[in-house]
Amino acid sequence: VGYGDFSPVNSIEKLFGSLFMLLNIVVAAWIVGSVTLLIVKGDEKTGSYRDNLDSLQQYGRMHDFDDTFMDMLKSQLKLGFQNEEISDDQVLKPFPSAVRRKILR
């Protein structure tokens, strides 16, 4: 592996080298997959915001909203996008109702 400075000589060393290379391939694939997932999730959220903005602009043109009102609506949409939080229901959904009641008191 590498430049050939060190190379396996017997069967055990060859087996260890092969397993080590396979482990490195798996770890590298996991890292690439994790980074890709993070990028896709962020892009998905941004894409949803863009779709909502496009729909708002079409709706505003269809109903002849003035520019000031459209700017207010866009600002509100952007504010909602930036401050989007997870609701209590989403977080507590997997827990039994007794635990949810105790937390929400």
| Dihedral (Cα; 32, 38, 41, 47), 10-degree rounding | -90
Query: In the prediction, which pLDDT does 22 show?
Result: 96
35-93 residue pLDDT tens = 988 888 777 778 888 899 999 999 999 999 999 999 999 998 888 887 776 677 777 88
Two structure tokens written together for 75:
């600002």
| Mean of pLDDT values over 2-12 | 81
Using alpha carbons only, how large is the chain's radius of gyration in Å?
A: 27
The reported pTM is 0.47
Band the pLDDT of 32: cuts 50, 70, 90. Answer: very high
